[in-house]
């Protein structure tokens, strides 16, 4: 067998490490994004957090230690994606080898009441911004024959959730993006995957469930494990998918939802 047919053995104890990697994480200042940053920094990667709130990013970086940096940026400014990647590489003093498309927005509205502008805003943030960032990092990853792109999808892409039509459409788009990008890039040493979180303890979920014990009971009843997940649960899944342990995994969407979509 040649090298393409048979990869080298993994070094014991190093399979889940990210030493030498630099991860650009959008929406990294809080919630799931910060959980991913914690996991990756803990596994040895440099992390560059991206978001619109400078103070929040600075606080998050302080909690992560010297392996973290941040770049305040609005990812919906699509034409500036290349500049963001260059700024992240300057901040980390290393090329971006992991891109985590995590930043997003969310709102609940019946489908018949969702406006075209609201739908477009959702697609701009989740789909077009992710595409722009992929365009910006792919040439460098391909030239180095090394890289990992990770999309943060949602259980809403797997099952019908009322009043989130635009959000579900945007997150469902990641299925096609992951499949197509993995088909284009796998032969060039770049893997592309996604994580689909379920109900996770976050500012967003707290707002959704606060003051509504009946809804909280319905949510918990749907989760086979009977509890909400933590941002670090998504962080661990992200570390796995971007680590050597998943070197033969590409084009997949991994649900991390306590069994909610089963």
Q: Which two tokens stand for residue 256?
A: 């991390």
pLDDT in tens, 150-181: 999 999 999 988 889 999 999 999 999 999 99
Q: Which of 167, 174, 240, 248 is catalytic?
A: 167
| CATH fold for domain 22-254 | Rossmann fold (3.40.50)
**Residue 219: its pLDDT value, please?**
84
Distances (CA, A) of 188 to 62, 98, 147, 150: 35, 15, 9, 16
Instruction: Reduce the DSSP state of residue 11 to 3 states and report it.
Output: coil
CB 23 within 8 A of CB 102: no
pLDDT in tens, 217-246: 888 888 999 999 999 999 999 999 999 999
Q: Strands across the sheet with 22-26, in order? A: 68-72, 46-51, 22-26, 98-101, 147-152, 190-197, 253-256
Q: What percentage of the chain carries pLDDT values higher than 90?
A: 80
Q: Which two tokens stand for residue 11?
A: 């070094």
**Residue 5: its pLDDT value, please?**
59
Residue pointed to by tokens 């991913």: 36
Find the distance separating the first CA and the last CA of the chain, reported in whole Å. Answer: 39
**Nearest of 231, 193, 219, 196 to residue 63 by alpha carbon:** 231
pLDDT in tens, 83-95: 999 999 999 999 9
Q: Which two tokens stand for residue 177?
A: 């993006």
pLDDT in tens, 100-156: 999 988 888 999 999 999 999 999 999 999 999 999 999 999 999 999 999 999 999
**Residue 209: its pLDDT value, please?**
73
What's the CA gap between 43 and 86, in Å, rounded?
A: 24
**Containing H/E element for 129?**
helix 129-144
**pLDDT, mean of residues 59-75:** 96
What is the band of 212 on the pLDDT scale with cuts at 50, 70, 90?
confident
Instruction: Reduce the DSSP state of residue 24 to 3 states and report it.
Output: strand
**Residue 60: its pLDDT value, please?**
97
Distances (CA, A) of 191 to 84, 109, 130, 132, 148: 21, 35, 16, 17, 5
What's the CA gap between 138 and 143, in Å, rounded?
A: 8
What's the CA gap between 222 and 241, in Å, rounded?
A: 26
167 flagged as catalytic: yes
**Domain ranges across the chain:** 22-254
Does residue 46 surpass a pLDDT of 90? yes
What average pLDDT does the chain have?
A: 93
Least confident of 2-6, 55-59, 110-114, 218-222: 2-6
């Amino acid at each position: 067998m040649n090298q393409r047919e048979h990869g080298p053995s993994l070094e014991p104890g190093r399979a889940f490490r990210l030493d030498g990697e630099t991860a650009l994480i959008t929406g990294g200042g809080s919630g799931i994004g910060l959980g991913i940053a914690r996991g990756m920094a803990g596994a040895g990667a440099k992390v560059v957090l991206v978001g619109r709130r400078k103070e929040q990013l600075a606080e998050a970086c302080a909690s992560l230690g010297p392996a973290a940096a941040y770049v305040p940026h609005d990812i919906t400014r699509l034409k500036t994606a290349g500049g963001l990647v260059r700024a992240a590489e300057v901040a980390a003093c290393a090329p971006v080898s992991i891109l985590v498309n995590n930043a997003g927005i969310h709102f609940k509205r019946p489908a018949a009441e969702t406006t075209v502008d609201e739908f477009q805003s959702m697609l701009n943030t989740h789909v077009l911004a992710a595409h722009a960032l992929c365009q910006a990092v792919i040439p460098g990853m391909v030239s180095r024959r090394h890289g990992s792109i990770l999309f943060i999808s949602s259980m809403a892409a797997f099952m019908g959730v009322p009043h989130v039509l635009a959000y579900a459409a945007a997150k469902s788009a990641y299925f096609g993006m992951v499949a197509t990008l993995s088909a284009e890039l796998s032969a060039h040493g770049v893997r592309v995957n996604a994580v689909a979180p379920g109900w996770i303890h976050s500012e967003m979920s707290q707002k959704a469930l606060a003051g509504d014990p009946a809804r909280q009971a319905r949510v918990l009843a749907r989760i086979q494990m009977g509890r909400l997940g933590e941002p670090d649960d998504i962080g661990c899944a992200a570390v796995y998918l971007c680590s050597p342990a998943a070197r033969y995994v590409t084009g997949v969407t991994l649900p991390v939802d306590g069994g909610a979509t089963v």
